[in-house]
Amino acid sequence: MRRLLRCAAWVLFMTWSLAALAHKASDSYLVLEVQGRAVSGQWDIALRDIDFALGLDHDGNGEITWGELRARHTDIAAWALGRLSLQRGGACLLRVVEHLVDDHTDGGYAVLRLAGECSAASADLTLDYRLLFDVDALHRGLLRLNLDGQTQTAVLAPDSGTQRFQPGRASRLAQFKQYLVQGIWHIWIGFDHILFLLALLLPAVLVYEARRWRGVTTFGLALREVLWVVTAFTLAHSITLTLAALRLVELPSRLVESTIAASVVLAALNNLVPVVQRRRWVVAFVFGLIHGFGFASVLAELGLPPETLVMSLLGFNLGVETGQLAIVALFLPVAYALRSTRFYGRGVFVGGSLITLAVALVWLIERAFNLKLISA
């Protein structure tokens, strides 16, 4: 009985932990235009991040009203501008000239309209971004900069928060490398994408015969199954990632996120009650099409112009695939070595599928009905 209770408590703990991680990583969206000495722009910062840093929810009811936000406009401006600086022949003086609110795919954002003036009209521009890095190492700033008519983009992370931009020289290779790294990072922190992939990979080292699972006879059989699943998933989400990032196809965010959660539910449930025993690559392809729209959210939210979108899209997509292959490379040898053990059959395969199912059900309810069952 005690063992059963410990197992139940462990399952509940893992469910809570993974469900709390399902929410979109913290991003802000910074658009700047620097023409000579004049600076203008817009900075979108998530209300939840500002609330975490400054405490906007005065009455503690879990909702941030316009009145609560308006009362802190001065504090918000000082907090944000204290974490962003520009240098062009000397310091650029920035100020917030207007406060607005906008909705992104993951909730409400404060919109800070910026204006300012730099010391020189033709020097290189140095940007220093430090928003939230002291409390959230996963935070990213997505920058679109128009410097004297030339558009450049960057992903601002703790190790790349300070960057130097030269007028008229936007390095396509540098942007490609940045988005390659961010694609890898995005798949590694995209827990719903990872759980879907792992739910499909868990039975790759097993075969269902006589109403039971047993280990495959050779590594080649497991590898072939994995290659089919990963290739189908990659092809599918690459198609829709491209279509969505180019804004050729757009779907409602709630529909996309809910369907992604549903895909995890079905993949985990199929492990426990096998319906699709072969050709799991078909499942990977069908739901991979929806996952591609989820991957595209970062690029679509930034609204990259066509001349930089192609390289950024290519780098980001290859980064996602690289991160995905790294996960497979770690998982497959270990799973194959343990495939015939009770630990894998009961603990990893059944236990992992149960936890995945429970977590995905929480995500599905939260996303489909716009609820908050577990705090992140």
3-class secondary structure per residue, 74-136: HHHHHHHHCCEEEECCCEEEEEEEEEEEEEECCEEEEEEEEEEECCCCCCCEEEEECCCCCCC
Identify the pLDDT of residue 58.
81
- 51 and 6, same structural domain? no
Whether residue 178 is contained in a domain is answered as no
Identify the pLDDT of residue 51.
92
Identify the pLDDT of residue 309.
73
- 223 and 347, same structural domain? yes
Identify the pLDDT of residue 374.
57
Identify the pLDDT of residue 111.
97
Whether residue 142 is contained in a domain is answered as yes
Whether residue 352 is contained in a domain is answered as yes
Q: Which domain holds residue 135?
A: 27-170
Whether residue 117 is contained in a domain is answered as yes
Provide the number of structural domains found in the chain: 2
- 359 and 235, same structural domain? yes
Identify the pLDDT of residue 20.
47
- 150 and 78, same structural domain? yes
- 229 and 121, same structural domain? no
Identify the pLDDT of residue 169.
63
Q: CA 59 to CA 312: how far, in whole Å?
A: 42
- 156 and 116, same structural domain? yes
Secondary structure, 3-state, 1-57: CHHHHHHHHHHHHHHHHHHHCCCCCCEEEEEEEEECCEEEEEEEEEHHHHHHHHCCC
Choose the final residue of a domain: 170, 204, 228. Answer: 170
- 219 and 164, same structural domain? no
Whether residue 114 is contained in a domain is answered as yes
Partners of 30 in the β-ladder: 43, 143
Instruction: Give the residue carrying structure tokens 């270990």.
Output: 334
- 341 and 248, same structural domain? yes
Q: CA 104 to CA 97: how far, in whole Å?
A: 22
Choose the final residue of a domain: 170, 198, 219. Answer: 170
Instruction: Give the residue carrying structure tokens 């719903």.
Output: 192
Identify the pLDDT of residue 366.
86
Whether residue 107 is contained in a domain is answered as yes
Q: CA 106 to CA 322: how far, in whole Å?
A: 26
For residues 153 and 165, is the Cβ–Cβ distance under 8 A? no
Whether residue 184 is contained in a domain is answered as no
The tokens for 189 are: 């922190």
Choose the final residue of a domain: 170, 205, 236. Answer: 170
* Contacting residues for 173 by C-beta, under 8 A, at least 6 apart: none
Instruction: Give the residue carrying structure tokens 């990032």.
Output: 245
- 147 and 108, same structural domain? yes
- 145 and 205, same structural domain? no
Whether residue 182 is contained in a domain is answered as no
- 35 and 17, same structural domain? no
Identify the pLDDT of residue 14.
46
- 199 and 338, same structural domain? yes
Q: Give pLDDT tens digits along the chain (376 positions).
A: 454 445 444 444 444 445 444 545 688 999 999 999 999 999 999 999 999 999 988 887 778 889 999 999 999 999 999 999 999 999 999 999 999 999 876 778 999 999 999 999 989 999 999 999 998 888 999 888 999 988 887 889 999 999 999 887 666 777 788 788 878 887 887 888 899 999 999 999 999 888 889 999 999 999 999 999 999 999 999 999 888 877 788 888 889 989 999 999 999 999 999 887 778 899 999 999 999 988 887 666 656 666 667 788 888 889 989 999 999 999 999 999 999 999 999 999 999 999 999 999 999 998 888 776 655 5
